[in-house]
Amino acid sequence: MTDGFRIRVSALVGLDRLIEELGGRAQGLLADFGLTAEQLHSEQTMDIEELARLLEHCAAQLCCPELGLRLGARQDLTMLGELGMVLRRCDTPEQALKAVRSLMAFHNQSEYWDHRLHGQLLAIHRFDNFHGDTDSRQYKELAISACYRLCQDLIGPDFRAARVDFAHAPLSPRPYYRDHFGCEVMFNQPQDTLWIPGAFLRRNLHGSPVGERQLLARQLSQRLAENGQGRVAQVGGLIQQTLGSGQANIDHVAGLLGLNRRTLQRQLKAQGTEFRTLLSELRMQSACWHLRYSNMEVTLLAEILGYHDLSAFSRAFKRRMGESPQAWRSANRRESPHSI
């Protein structure tokens, strides 16, 4: 399911300088993945798993477990290219969040962002459209750290988060995360989430005239439509976003796409698959990733994957993987030195 998921190389802006500051040779580390420092400022894209492997490789070579966090702190809206230009023209943070939700695929096809108000706090949720075998924790920490930094860039230097949640176990000592974000950081949570005070939604950003912003947003939307990922990738992304809500079914997903059930079935069949197969594959990929890289309780994992109960998840997992989730975790987990 990772085929076709691309991300702009500009997501790595500043990586060359960070490598050099950490005592490494940027030219050599980037060349290992077919990149140059100049390409970090280009419109070029790369496969998302390749980017995740690059970050993990650099973190290991430089003995820097906080590499993703540090790189994210160096970002600003310019790294989003034309999407960043749209955000600069928004009148409020809420308007910017809606633009990110609809246009993120212009910058990064591998993730989806959504937001929801919970009382006085706003939860900015990050969803993955893929869960490969790659250890993508550096990439995930880069994404949340960059989101935090872009909020500062957009809202102002007084921006503060209330809490940060990661679905995986920590890569660095826990105090480092608190110092980095300036708030409580939780691990092994159901979703990667940035929690911020809801009052920030109403801040006036002094954006550009409405017509200018809408024109640019329409242009990006049209380009996305012309260069879409294909129906299978779209359906896979929507499945990931709806698993935990219990709405990852063909009727609901077809409705989100503006289609009826039979039309979606025909389109998926034409691409050599069916909804039931996609749902099963994505559940197992996500299950294996969490079992390997997080300490999340298996009961909670079953819930966020949309199973009715633990026994249903265990049966499905054993049919696919040949052993129980607990046994598979014991044999395949990647221990974190800071997970306790």
Which of 151, 186, 202 is the last residue before a domain boundary?
202
**pLDDT tens digits along 123-153:** 999 988 777 778 999 999 999 999 999 999 9
Domain stops at, among 202, 217, 242: 202
For residues 100-125, give the mean pLDDT: 89
pTM (two decimals): 0.87
Give me the phi and psi of 272, to 5 degrees please.
Answer: 80, 25
Say yes or no to pLDDT of 3 above 70: no
The answer as to whether 217 is a domain residue is no
Is 27 among the domain residues? yes
**CATH value at residue 306:** 1.10.10.60
The yes-or-no verdict on residue 340 having pLDDT over 70 is no
Q: Supply the pLDDT for residue 4.
A: 58
| Same structural domain, 144 and 240 | no
Q: Are residues 191 and 150 in the same domain?
A: yes
For residue 298, being part of any structural domain is answered with: yes
Q: Are residues 122 and 196 in the same domain?
A: yes
| Structural domain for 315, as ranges | 230-332
Residue 225 lies in a domain: no
187 lies in the same domain as 247: no
Q: Which amino acid belongs to residue 128? A: D
Q: Do residue 118 and residue 254 come from a single domain?
A: no
Q: 181 and 142, same structural domain?
A: yes
| pLDDT bucket at 338, cuts 50 / 70 / 90 | low
Match 């503006």 to its residue by tokens: 258
| Average pLDDT for the chain | 90
Q: 242: closest CA among 129, 103, 106? A: 129
Q: Is residue 211 part of a domain?
A: no
Is 186 inside a domain boundary? yes
Q: Which of 53-57, 269-273, 303-307 has the lowest mean pLDDT?
A: 269-273
Domain-located, residue 249: yes
pLDDT value, residue 317: 96
Mean pLDDT of 22-48: 95
**CA–CA dist 78, 83 (Å, integer):** 9
For residue 109, name the pLDDT band (cuts at 50, 70, 90). confident
Read off the tokens for 13.
């802006």
pLDDT band at residue 275 using 50, 70 and 90 as cut-offs = very high
Average the pLDDT over 196-221 and give the result.
Answer: 81
Same domain, 239 and 323: yes
% pLDDT > 70, the chain: 94
pLDDT of the residue at 230: 66
Q: What percent of the chain has pLDDT over 90?
A: 64
Please write the tens of the pLDDT for every residue from 220-266.
Answer: 777 766 665 567 777 887 888 788 778 899 999 999 888 899 999 99
Q: Looking at the structure, tell me whether residues 291 and 183 fall in a common domain.
A: no
Calculate the CA 164 to chain-centre distance: 14
For residues 123 and 167, membership in a common domain is answered with yes
Give the end-to-end CA distance of the chain in Å, rounded to a whole number. Answer: 32
**Residue 229: predicted pLDDT:** 56
* In contact, 93 and 205? CB cutoff 8 Å: yes
- Residue 24 is part of a domain; what is its CATH number? 3.90.1520
* DSSP secondary structure of 215-251: HHHHHHHHHHHHT---HHHHHHHHHHHHTTTT--SHH
Looking at the structure, tell me whether residues 168 and 238 fall in a common domain.
no
Report the helix count and the strand count for the chain, using DSSP H and E: 16, 7
Taking phi over 0 as left and psi of -120 to 50 as alpha, with beta for the rest, 332 belongs to: alpha
What's residue 2's pLDDT? Answer: 45
Number of domains in the chain: 2
What does the pLDDT read at residue 111? Answer: 86
Q: In terms of domains, do 144 and 62 share one?
A: yes
Mean pLDDT of 63-77: 96
Residue 276 has pLDDT above 80, yes or no: yes
Domain presence at residue 1: no
Q: Please check whether residue 180 is in contact with residue 66, taking contact to mean a CB–CB distance below 8 angstroms.
A: yes
Do 86 and 180 fall into the same domain? Answer: yes
Residue 207 has pLDDT above 70, yes or no: no
Task: Tell me which of 23-37, 223-237, 284-298 is least confident.
Answer: 223-237
Backbone angles phi, psi at 127, to 5 degrees: -115, 135
